[in-house]
Amino acid sequence: MKLLIVESPTKARTIGKYLPKNENFVVKASVGHVRDLPKSNKKAIDIDAGFVPHYEISPGKEDIVADLARAAQQADEIYLAPDPDREGEAIAWHLIEALNLKKAPNVKRITFNEITKTAVQNALKHPRGIDDNLRRAQEARRVLDRLFGYDLSGLIWKKVRYGLSAGRVQSPALRILVEREREIRAFVPDIFWTITADLIPNGHKKPLTFTCSEEFIAHMKGKSEKEQEKEKVRIKKKVDALIAHGLKASWHVSAIKETEQKRAPHPPFTTSTLQQVASSRLGFTPSRTMRAAQKLYEAGHITYMRTDSVTLSNDALKNIAAVVQKEYGKELHQTRLYKTKSKNAQEAHEAIRPTDAALQTAGASSDEKKLYTLIRTRTLASQMVDARILRTKVSANITSSKTFPDFIVTGSHVIAPGWLTADTAARNEDVDLPKMSVGDALTLKDINAEEKQTQSPKRYTEAGLVKELEKRGIGRPSTYATIVKTIQDRGYVKKDGRTLIPTETGMVVSTFIEKYFGPYISDDFTAEMENELDEIAAGKRDYTKTLKDFYTAFHKDVSAKEDIPKLTNLGDANPKYTCPQCGGKMVVKLSKNGTFLSCAKFPACDGARTADGEIMEGPKETGETCPECSAPLVERTGRYGKFISCSNYPKCKYIKEDPEEAAKKKTGVTCPQCGTGEMVERRGRFGVFYSCSNYPKCKNAIKARPTGKLCAYKRDDRDGKACGALMMEGTKTIPERCSDKTCPNHNPHKLAKKK
Q: Which of 304, 328, 480, 551 is flagged as catalytic?
A: 304
Query: Please, which residues have CB within 8 angstroms of residue 568's CB and are 6 or more apart in sequence?
Result: 589
**703-739 residues labelled b (16+ CB within 10 A) or e (exposed):** ebbbbeebbebebbbbeeeebbbbbbeeeeeeeebbb
Q: How distant, in Å, are the alpha carbons of 277, 323, 337, 425, 493 from that of 417?
A: 21, 18, 21, 12, 42
Which has the closest alpha carbon to 470: 342, 640, 587, 654?
342
Distance CA 116, CA 123 (A): 11
Helices (H) and strands (E) in the chain, counts: 18, 32
DSSP one-letter code for 306 = -
DSSP for 76-100, written as a single string: SEEEE---SSHHHHHHHHHHHHHTT
User: Annotated catalytic, 640?
Assistant: no
* Backbone dihedral angles phi then psi of residue 414, each to the nearest 5 degrees: -80, 115
* Backbone dihedral angles phi then psi of residue 324, each to the nearest 5 degrees: -60, -45
HEC letters along 541-579:
CCHHHHHHHHHHHHHHHHHHCCCCCCCCCCCECCCCCCC
Which has the closest alpha carbon to 598: 607, 515, 590?
607
Helices (H), 578-691: 659-665
CA 442 remoteness from chain centre = 52
| Cα dihedral across residues 551, 553, 558, 563: positive or negative | positive
Q: Are 618 and 637 in contact (CB under 8 A)?
A: no
Q: Are 311 and 335 in contact (CB under 8 A)?
A: no
Q: Which one-letter amino acid corresponds to residue 544?
A: T
Q: How do beta strands 2-6 and 77-80 pair?
A: parallel
Distance CA 347, CA 646 (A): 57
Distance CA 700, CA 690 (A): 9
Distance CA 644, CA 626 (A): 10
Q: Are 103 and 78 in contact (CB under 8 A)?
A: no
Distance CA 363, CA 291 (A): 12
Q: Are 484 and 287 in contact (CB under 8 A)?
A: yes
Query: Please, which residues have CB within 8 angstroms of residue 305's CB and are 6 or more apart in sequence?
Result: 271, 274, 290, 293, 294, 296, 297, 352
Q: Are 507 and 495 in contact (CB under 8 A)?
A: no
Which has the closest alpha carbon to 266: 310, 329, 204, 216?
310
Which has the closest alpha carbon to 525: 41, 148, 87, 164?
148
- Preceding amide of 457 cis, omega within 30: no
Distance CA 63, CA 30 (A): 10
Distance CA 172, CA 523 (A): 7
Distance CA 537, CA 543 (A): 10
Distance CA 479, CA 169 (A): 9
**42-59 residues labelled b (16+ CB within 10 A) or e (exposed):** eebbeeeeebebebebbe
Residue numbers annotated as active site: 304
